[in-house]
Structure 1
Amino acid sequence: MRNIYLAAVLGLAMTTTAHSEPLNLNLSGGNPGGLWSLLGAGIDRAVRADDPNSVITYQATGGGFANIGLLATGRTDLGLMHDAEAKIALSGEEPFKAPITNLRAIGYMYNWAPMHFFLTKAMADKYNIDSIDDIATSGAPIRIGINRSGNITSNVALMMLEQAGVTDEVLTGNGGQLVRAGANEQGELIQDGRLDMITNGIFINHSSFRSVDENVDVVLLSVPQDVIDATNKAFGTGEMVIPAGSYKNQTTDVNTVSLGAILVATDKMDDATAHNLAASLLKNVGEIRAVHKSMQDLTPELMAKPSVIEFHPGAAKAYAEAGLSQ
C-alpha cells in the first residue's frame, strides 16, 4: 500500500512539473515599434506573470503574410496575422501557391481596425460625394492612396472600391489614379495636395489619421452595406461603426469593414503548450491591455471568439475551462 501511495505521489509530482514547465516560444510580429511589437511584449509579460522563467521572444517581420509563411514552414512557434490574411492563406490565394492548412488559433487579439476612406472636403463638395459608391459616377479625377502591395489593407481597400464600382479603368477614365503608399506617407501626400483621398484599416484616431484630420479639411466617406457584406464574405473580416464625431467633419455614424488580428500557432504545437499559453493570456489579460490605449477593449470573451482559423485543441480546452464558448 505504501508503494502504491508513493507511486501516486510521484506521478502527481511529474504531472505538476510537466504542466508548469516554462514556455519558451518565438513570436513573429510586424515592424519594430509598431502595435504588434507592443503586443509581443504584452504576451511575454502575461506568460512571465505565471512563470518568471517563461519567455516569448519577439521577432520583427514583414507582417502577417510573412508570418504565415514562417509558420507554414516551421520557422516560428507563433505569429500574428490579420483575419483577412489568414482567410487568403486558407484559400491558397496570392501570395500563396497552395492552401496553408496547419494554422491553429490561440486567440483573437483585437477586431477594431476599421477601414477608413478620407476624401478632401473640396473634392467631396465639388462632385457631391459622401459615399465610396458615389466616386464611380461622379466623374471626379481622384488620386486615391492605398497601402503598398503585401499589406492586407490594400487588398481590402481595392475590393471595397471595386465592389462600389471604382475600378482602375473607371478611375483613370475620370483622370484619377491609384497611388501606392504606406499610412504615414499617405498622410504626407494628402497634406501636400498630391493625393485627394486616403484609405487604410487602422484604429479610430490613429496618429496618422489624426494628423490628417487636424491639418487637412477631409470628410469620412460612408460605405454601402452590400460592399461591407461582400468584403466580409471574401476576407472573413467584420463590421464596425465609426461613431459620429470621431473626426471633425463627421456628423453621422459610419459603418465599415473592420480587420482583426489573431495570435496563431500550428498543429505541431503540443496541446499542453497551447493550453498553458492560452490560460496565461486569459489570466493575465491586463498585461496585454496595458501595452497601448488601443488595447483597452481586449477581453477574455474576445480572445475566445471564433475566427477564420480553428482553435488549437489546447487553447480551446483553456477557454472551455474558463467557461468561454467558441
Structure 2
Amino acid sequence: MRLLTLAAAIGLAFGVNTAQAEPVNLTLSGGNPGGLWSLLGAGIDRAVKQSDPNSVVTYQATGGGFANIGLLGANRTDTGLVHNAEVKIALAGEEPFKAPVNNMRAIGYMYNWAPMHFFLAKSIADEYNIDSLDDLATAKAPVRIGVNRSGNITSNVALFMLEQAGLTTEAVEANGGRIVQAGANDQAELLKDGRIDIVTNGVFVLHSSFRAIDENNEVIVLDIPQNVIDATNARFGTQTYTIPGGSYSNQPNDVETSALGALLVATDQMEEETAYDLTKALIANVDEIKAVHGSMKALTPELMADQDVLPFHPGAERAYREAGLLK
C-alpha cells in the first residue's frame, strides 16, 4: 500500500510538471466564402493543428471587417480579421459605430501590403497633363471617379485621400465630374464602357482585378503626394507602400501610396493562456498561413508583431517577447 501511494504521488507530481497546454478551440470571423480571408482562416486552423492536432479554429463567413468588429465588440466571436483602418474608425466611435469599441486586442498582423491604387484613363491624363492625384484638382478635369461601395473600407480611404488632394465631392462636381460608388469588378466594367474615368481600390499589387483594368484599358497609375500619404497614415493607421515601377503597362516609375493591412484580433475576454498558445502556434507554423495564397509569401513572425494600431493581447505579447520579436 505504501508503495502504491508513493507511486501515485510521484505520478501526480510528474503529471503536474509535464502538463500540456489546452487545445485551442476558437471561432474566427472573416469575410466572404472563397475570398482571401477565408483562406487565411484555413491557414490559421492548420497552424494551430500543427502545434496540437486537437486544436481547431472554426471559420465563419461575415460581411467583412466592420461586421467582425461589431461581433468582437459584442463578444459574439472569439477572433476576427479586421483592417487597420477599420480599427481606427471603431476606436474613435465613428460611423458605422455608435460608440467607441474598446475591447479589441491584437494577436498580430496578417498582411500590410494592400496599397491604394488610383487608375486614371490615359486619354484624360494626356489631355489635362495629369500624373498625380493633386493634379486632378488643379487641372479641373471633369472626371468621374469610381470608389468602392459604402461600407467597404477602401471607399472611406479613397474619399479621404481625394479630399486631402483638394478633391472634395463638391469640387469634383463643380468641375463637371462626379463620384460613382461601385464594387471593384463593377468599376472595371464602368471604366471599360467609358462611364467612369478613375478606378480606386486597395488590394494587392497585380491583383486579378487590377490586371484586368491594365490589360483592357489604357490607364496610368497616379502618383500620390507625400502630404496625402502622411495624412492618410495618421488618420487610418495605414502604412507607406511602394508600388514597384513596371507593375502596370503605363507605370514606368515607383509609386508611393498608403497600404491597408489586416490584423487578427481577439477581445480582452480571451484567456491569456489561450491568446499565448494561439500566437505561439502562429509564430511556429507561419508557413501554414503563407501557403494559402501566393500573395501571403511575405508574411513573417516579425511582421505579425510589427503593429501599433491596437494594444496586443497580453498572451500574444508574451509569446512575441519569448520569441524575441518584441523588446
Taking the aligned partners of 2:189 and 2:227, their CA distance within structure 1 comes to 32
Taking the TM superposition and a 5 Å limit, the aligned residue runs for 1:4-43 are 10-11=12-13, 13-14=15-16, 16-17=18-19, 19-43=20-44
1:89-116 CA distances to partner (integer Å, 9 max, x unpaired)?
Answer: 1111111111111100011100000000
Distance 1:287 1:156, change over 3 A: same
Kept after mapping to 2: 8 A contact 1:108/1:307: no
Taking the aligned partners of 1:267 and 1:256, their CA distance within structure 2 comes to 33
Shift of 1:11: 4.9
Taking the TM superposition and a 5 Å limit, the aligned residue runs for 1:45-84 are 45-84=46-85
Distance 1:137 1:78, change over 3 A: same
Shift of 1:141: 1.1
Taking the aligned partners of 1:204 and 1:196, their CA distance within structure 2 comes to 20
Give SS of 1:85's match.
Answer: helix
Kept after mapping to 2: 8 A contact 1:136/1:165: yes
Distance 1:12 1:100, change over 3 A: farther
Kept after mapping to 2: 8 A contact 1:83/1:307: no
1:66-124 CA distances to partner (integer Å, 9 max, x unpaired)?
Answer: 00000010110000000010111111111111111110001110000000000000010
Moved more, 19-28 or 33-42: 19-28
Give SS of 2:240's match.
Answer: strand
Taking the aligned partners of 2:167 and 2:17, their CA distance within structure 1 comes to 60
Give SS of 1:21's match.
Answer: coil
Matched, 1:191 2:192: yes
Identity of aligned residues (%): 66
Tell me what 1:220 maps to.
Answer: 221
1:113-140 CA distances to partner (integer Å, 9 max, x unpaired)?
Answer: 0000000000100011100101112121
Shift of 1:191: 1.2
Structure 2 gap ranges (5+)? none
Distance 1:130 1:8, change over 3 A: farther
Distance 1:69 1:4, change over 3 A: farther
Moved more, 185-194 or 258-267: 185-194
Q: Which amino acid aligns with 1:297?
A: A
TM-score under structure 2 length normalisation: 0.96
Please give the root-mean-square deviation of Cα atoms over the aligned residues, in Å.
1.7
Moved more, 7-16 or 272-281: 7-16
Kept after mapping to 2: 8 A contact 1:24/1:56: yes
1:205-245 CA distances to partner (integer Å, 9 max, x unpaired)?
Answer: 00001001011000000000000001111111100000100
Taking the aligned partners of 2:191 and 2:112, their CA distance within structure 1 comes to 27
Tell me what 1:237 maps to.
Answer: 238
Q: Which amino acid aligns with 1:13?
A: G
Distance 1:133 1:15, change over 3 A: farther
Matched, 1:97 2:84: no
Taking the aligned partners of 1:88 and 1:12, their CA distance within structure 2 comes to 50
Taking the aligned partners of 2:301 and 2:284, their CA distance within structure 1 comes to 9
Matched, 1:247 2:275: no
TM-score under structure 1 length normalisation: 0.96
Tell me what 2:153 maps to.
Answer: 152
Give SS of 2:210's match.
Answer: helix
Taking the aligned partners of 1:277 and 1:250, their CA distance within structure 2 comes to 41
Give SS of 1:62's match.
Answer: coil
Q: Which amino acid aligns with 1:53?
A: N
Kept after mapping to 2: 8 A contact 1:144/1:195: yes
Q: Which amino acid aligns with 1:48?
A: K
Shift of 1:54: 1.1
Kept after mapping to 2: 8 A contact 1:285/1:299: yes
Moved more, 290-299 or 306-315: 306-315
Tell me what 1:133 maps to.
Answer: 134
Distance 1:189 1:7, change over 3 A: farther
Kept after mapping to 2: 8 A contact 1:82/1:262: yes
Tell me what 2:267 maps to.
Answer: 266
Structure 1 gap ranges (5+)? none
Taking the TM superposition and a 5 Å limit, the aligned residue runs for 1:274-293 are 274-293=275-294
Shift of 1:10: 2.4
Kept after mapping to 2: 8 A contact 1:102/1:267: yes
Matched, 1:257 2:237: no
Q: Which amino acid aligns with 2:254?
A: D
1:168-218 CA distances to partner (integer Å, 9 max, x unpaired)?
Answer: 111111111111111111111111111110001110000001001011000
